[in-house]
A = this chain, B = another copy of it.
């Protein structure tokens, strides 16, 4: 290598390779090889390996304890980006999604919400905030806005055990069509961190998604904050 990489760079390289194996469940019984073996595999010093493991520990992927060694604790789930799906649909292989409705009700659409939903400013819209859990562990905090004619019937449905997508298709009598999605990495503010049971400043994947019905009408504007340590977005792209 030219110039010689510093130890921190080397540690990150090792951590990137191990991260993949940790997330793929490659280690038998979830136990990583000891530092000496990892050092031999990566042609790295024990200090570099130790630093790499510390990076993975800080990301919440592994835990280290004397006697027990280094074990995988990550519970990170893949969320496909090649088809529009609700969370429970996406994660059905991984467990049960439940939703705690934190707030719900009718509000007046402000400028940007009205514009995105194709409604006049001041129109009634339904606002629903849900804390979503996978296997009882907090996964995301979702804020959803819907036009009143769609959102009001939705409020009468079982929002605890159903994806909004599934309910919308039933209420509207047509499938959903296309969604525009924006994704950013942000730090959790203290309040969101508390709700999602994350350390303050913990990394979140913030997803803004505007979903249309098959006929093109925008019906569902969501702001979704996923815990960064619990989800990987996956996509296949073509050149």
A182 to B79, CA, bound (A): 9
Most buried by B among A3, A226, A239: A239
Give the contacting residue for A187; candidates B5, B176, B183, B203; CB below 8 A: B203
Chain B residues with CB under 8 A of A236: 178-181
A166 to B238, CA, bound (A): 15
Given contacts A17-B113, A186-B203, contact A129 B5 (CB under 8 A): yes
Query: In chain A, residues 186-239, which have Cβ atoms closer than 8 Å to a Cβ of chain B?
Result: 186-187, 189, 191-192, 201-205, 208, 214, 223, 226, 228-229, 231-239
**A8 located at the interface, meaning its Cβ lies under 8 Å from any Cβ of chain B in the complex:** yes
Chain B residues with CB under 8 A of A41: 110-111
**A102 located at the interface, meaning its Cβ lies under 8 Å from any Cβ of chain B in the complex:** yes
Given contacts A12-B192, A239-B178, contact A184 B58 (CB under 8 A): no
> How many copies of this chain does one complex carry?
2
- 23 A-B Cβ contacts within 8 A? A1-B103, A1-B127, A3-B103, A9-B191, A13-B143, A16-B143, A17-B110, A17-B113, A20-B116, A21-B111, A41-B110, A83-B237, A176-B239, A177-B238, A179-B237, A179-B239, A184-B231, A187-B187, A187-B201, A203-B204, A203-B228, A214-B239, A235-B235
What distance in Å separates the Cβ of A87 from its nearest Cβ neighbour in chain B? 14
Q: Are B2 and A58 in contact (CB under 8 A)?
A: no
What distance in Å separates the Cβ of A210 from its nearest Cβ neighbour in chain B? 10
Give the contacting residue for A186; candidates B59, B113, B175, B191; CB below 8 A: B59
Query: In chain A, residues 21-56, which have Cβ atoms closer than 8 Å to a Cβ of chain B?
Result: 21, 26, 41-43, 55
